[in-house]
A and B are shown apart, each in its own frame.
Chain A
Amino acid sequence: MTLSVKDLSVARGGVPVLIGVSFELRAGQAMILRGPNGSGKTTMLRTLAGLQLPLSGEVHGAEDKIAYAAHSDGLKSMLTVEENLTFWAEVFGAAGISAAVEAFELHDLRDRLAGTLSAGQKRRLGLARLLVTRRPIWVLDEPTVSLDAKAVEMFAQAVRDHLTAGGMALIATHIELGLAEAQVFDVTTHRAGPDALAGASDEAFL
């Protein structure tokens, strides 16, 4: 199983932001995306997740394999932690949430309404959702926001376990996750220059 990206160009709001991105990710590998705000990390991750169309280029091996997590976790404050997780498990056709609950130490919170959790606890719940999807490729956009050091370690451990089990992870983050074996991909090297117009929605007008 491989995720291969060839010559991918992506656009935000009709303006190209990244051009000619190519990489390959095999089972058990992780990749960290780095780059300043607005450099196109989120756009690229959304494109890989299939939420938006690429300008050009090909993505192979992503279809129905990606679990996507971004800034908002899709949690319902009026449902309990357990109900939130069970819902996503059922949507993704997976059974059992106990592994996810264990990995992110949500046991004591199981019956609390998600709306009563702290920001960090919510984030842990959002990340636990990744485990119940049973999808091999994790595409994560700033997963460690509002997590404390202990929770970050929890998360890093979950990623390591996922990789050991043959999964993959693509993570846009600023902090060091302690994933020694991860490739680092600096998006700034593929940043679209001001003259890059191919595929821009306004291209035809210039």
Chain B
Amino acid sequence: MSVTDQKPIPKRPSSFWSYANPVKFLAFSERVMPALWWLAGICLLVGLVWGFFFTPDDFRQGSTVKIIYLHVPSALMAINAWFMMLVASLIWIIRRHHVSALAAKAAAPVGVVMTVIALVTGAIWGQPMWGTWWAWDPRLTSFLILFLFYLGYIALWEAIEDPDTAADLTSVLCLVGSVFAVLSRYAVNFWNQGLHQGASLSLDKEENVADVFYFPLLVAIAGFVLLFLVLVLYRTGTEIRLRRTRALMAREART
């Protein structure tokens, strides 16, 4: 049986939700991905080169401060990736759009890599600053717990054969996990007041890093956001193709 009798794709998208159609989503993501790859690459290159070579050393921390251009953006994306998975899981539970569930699935490994980058760069930064690779500081500990949540989420996806069942169960886990991640954050704060400095970026700019570090950091963050986006789009596309192959094979088997 051929694939030509697929449903016609609506010419003009009537709403945001029309991208929930996998075919439509694939067409769209393939159109925007090259531009996104370039943008992400340029932002990362500019942000990191600017940050590494064209900013002064910190008067206290010396050149070690420059790891901030990897550490802060990856930490930010580690949390935001989970948040994106939460939103995607909610969309799957409420509206049953397969693309949403697959996007959540696709984001998890990216998020876990971001978490590992944040943890490793944190350790490398912490060694000269605090004199130790690892301290049970609340922020570090929270990230370690977040890492465990990612592992559990991915493991559950892998363990369940039926894709819809897996999507449902991982969505429930993501919801419950989010609540417990926040709880753990507070619990860990209570458990140990730590070494870690306050937030590097905030809107009220009271405690922010100085401008010379700030602007390249913003560019690096933009690069990480774009990289995350394009990786998730790419991986979602792969997941959609996998499901499509499965569906085609199932149909083949029935004829």
- Complex Cα spacing A41 to B22, Å: 32
- Binding stretch for chain B, among A86-94, A119-127, A198-206: A198-206
A36 in contact (CB, < 8 A): no
What DSSP secondary structure best describes chain B's contact surface?
A: helix
Which of B164, B248, B254 makes the CB contact (< 8 A) with A14? B164
Question: B240 near A205 (CB under 8 angstroms)?
Answer: yes
Please provide the chain B residues from 1 to 47 with a CB less than 8 Å away from any CB of chain A in the complex.
1, 3, 6-7, 21-23
Q: Are A201 and B164 in contact (CB under 8 A)?
A: yes
Q: For A14, what are the chain B residues with a Cβ–Cβ distance below 8 Å?
A: 162-164
Q: Is the CB of B255 within 8 A of A206?
A: no
C-alpha spacing A197/B246, complex, angstroms: 14
Q: Complex: how many Å from CA A194 to CA B248? A: 11
Question: Which 6 pairs show the lowest CB-CB distances between chains A and B?
Answer: A202-B247, A194-B254, A205-B244, A194-B255, A205-B247, A201-B164
B184 to chain A, nearest CB (A): 34
For A200, the chain B residues whose CB sits under 8 A away are 247
From B245, which residue of chain A is reached at the shortest CB distance? A205
CB distance from B16 to the nearest CB of A (A): 16
Instruction: Identify which of A13, A194, A201, A204 contacts B251 (C-beta below 8 A).
Output: A194
Rounded to whole Å, the gap between the CB of B115 and the closest CB of chain A is 31
Main secondary structure of the interface of A (DSSP, over half): loop
Verify A204–B98 contact, CB threshold 8 A.
yes
Q: Which B residues contact A (CB, under 8 angstroms)?
A: 1, 3, 6-7, 21-23, 98, 162-164, 240, 243-244, 246-248, 250-251, 254-255
Inside 8 A of A206's CB, which chain B residues have their CB? 3, 6-7, 244, 247-248, 251
Known: A204-B98, A205-B98. A13 touches B162 (CB 8 A): yes
Count, chain A residues at interface, CB 8 A: 12
Docked CA distance A147–B1 (Å): 45
Which residue of chain A is the closest to B241 with respect to CB atoms? A205
Within 8 A of B (CB), among A172-206: 194, 197, 200-206
Interchain CB contact under 8 A, B22 and A204: yes
Nearest-neighbor residue (CB-CB) of B244 within chain A? A205
Q: Which residue of B lies closest to A201 (CB)?
A: B164
Measured in the bound complex, the distance between the Cα atoms of B255 and A56 in whole Å is: 23
A38 to chain B, nearest CB (A): 12
Q: A194-B255, A204-B21 are in contact. List 11 more A-B contacts (CB 8 A).
A: A14-B164, A194-B1, A201-B98, A201-B163, A204-B98, A205-B22, A205-B243, A205-B244, A205-B247, A206-B244, A206-B251
Q: Least Cβ distance of B17 to chain A in Å?
A: 12
